[in-house]
Amino acid sequence: MYVVLVYDMEAERTQKMLRLCRRYLTHVQNSVLEGEISEGDLTGLQESIDDLLIAGESVVIYEVSSEMLLDRTVYGDDPKANDRFL
């Protein structure tokens, strides 16, 4: 499945969430990641997110059955275009 993940955390803790999510998804903007993920990996990611969050922080995951069903329009440079070159 294809997911878009958005998080809102205290500024000094954002790097923890980014490091976690980058193991599974492509970082496309400040607090936004997206990509193809298996159900098993998504479950593991959700559990890790739940362990990491503290009061006042949130994560929203939008699930799409396939990237082909997602209408994605980018204005400006597409950060996902460079995701294969680290």
| 84 belongs to a structural domain | no
Give the domain range for residue 52.
Answer: 2-68
Q: pLDDT grade, residue 70 (50/70/90)?
A: confident
Q: Is the pLDDT of residue 85 over 50?
A: no
| 22 belongs to a structural domain | yes
| 74 belongs to a structural domain | no
Nearest CA-CA partner of 53 in 4, 16, 3, 2:
16
| 82 belongs to a structural domain | no
pTM: 0.82
Task: Note whether 31 and 7 are within 8 A (CB).
Answer: yes
| 62 belongs to a structural domain | yes
